Amino acid sequence: MTLQTESQPQVASLEQTQINRQMIAILDFGSQYSELIARRIRETQVYSEVLSYRTTAEQLRQLNPAGIILSGGPSSVYDPGAPHCDPEIWNLGIPILGVCYGMQLMVQQLGGGVERSDRGEYGKASLFINDPTDLLTNVEDGTTMWMSHGDSVTRLPEGFELLAHTDNTPCAAIAHQEKKLYGVQFHPEVVHSIGGLALIRNFVYHICECQPTWTTAAFVEESIREIRAKVGDKRVLLALSGGVDSSTLAFLLYKAIGEQLTCMFIDQGFMRKQEPERLVKLFREQFHIPVEYVNARERFLAAIAGVTDPEEKRKRIGHEFIRVFEEESRRLGPFDYLAQGTLYPDVIESADTNVDPQTGERVAVKIKSHHNVGGLPKDLRFKLVEPLRKLFKDEVRKVGRSIGLPEEIVQRHPFPGPGLAIRILGEVTEERLEILRDADFIVRQEINRCGMYSQLWQAFAVLLPIRSVGVMGDQRTYAYPIVLRFVTSEDGMTADWARVPYDLLELIANRIVNEVRGVNRVVYDITSKPPGTIEWE
CA 94 to CA 102: how far, in whole Å?
Answer: 15
CA 188 to CA 474: how far, in whole Å?
Answer: 61
- CB neighbourhood size of 103 (10 A): 28
End-to-end, the C-alpha distance of the chain in Å comes to 38
Strand ranges (E), 130-250: 143-155, 161-165, 173-176, 181-184, 236-239
Asked if 100 is an active-site residue, the reply is: yes
Asked if 263 is an active-site residue, the reply is: no
Asked if 288 is an active-site residue, the reply is: no
CA 177 to CA 422: how far, in whole Å?
Answer: 56
CB 365 within 8 A of CB 354: yes
Query: What type of residue is 531?
Result: P
User: Which phi and psi angles does 163 have, rounded to 5°?
Assistant: -105, -35
> Cα separations (Å) of 164 from 119, 173, 313?
18, 5, 55
CB 516 within 8 A of CB 438: yes
CB 67 within 8 A of CB 48: no
DSSP at 495 = B
Coil, helix or strand at residue 52: strand
The DSSP secondary structure of 353-388, one letter per residue, reads --B-TTT--BB-SSB-SSS--BPPPTTS--EEE-TT
User: Which phi and psi angles does 483 have, rounded to 5°?
Assistant: -100, 130
Q: What value, to the nearest 5°, has the Cα angle with vertex 67 and ends 62 and 72?
A: 110
Query: What type of residue is 312?
Result: E
Can the peptide bond before residue 530 be classed as cis, meaning omega within 30 degrees of 0? yes
Coil, helix or strand at residue 393: helix
CA 238 to CA 368: how far, in whole Å?
Answer: 12
Catalytic residue among 149, 187, 370, 371: 187
- CB neighbourhood size of 303 (10 A): 18
Strand bridging mode 67-70 / 475-488: unpaired
Query: What type of residue is 174?
Result: I
Catalytic residue among 121, 189, 320, 446: 189
Catalytic residue among 49, 85, 100, 176: 100
Residues taking part in catalysis: 100, 187, 189
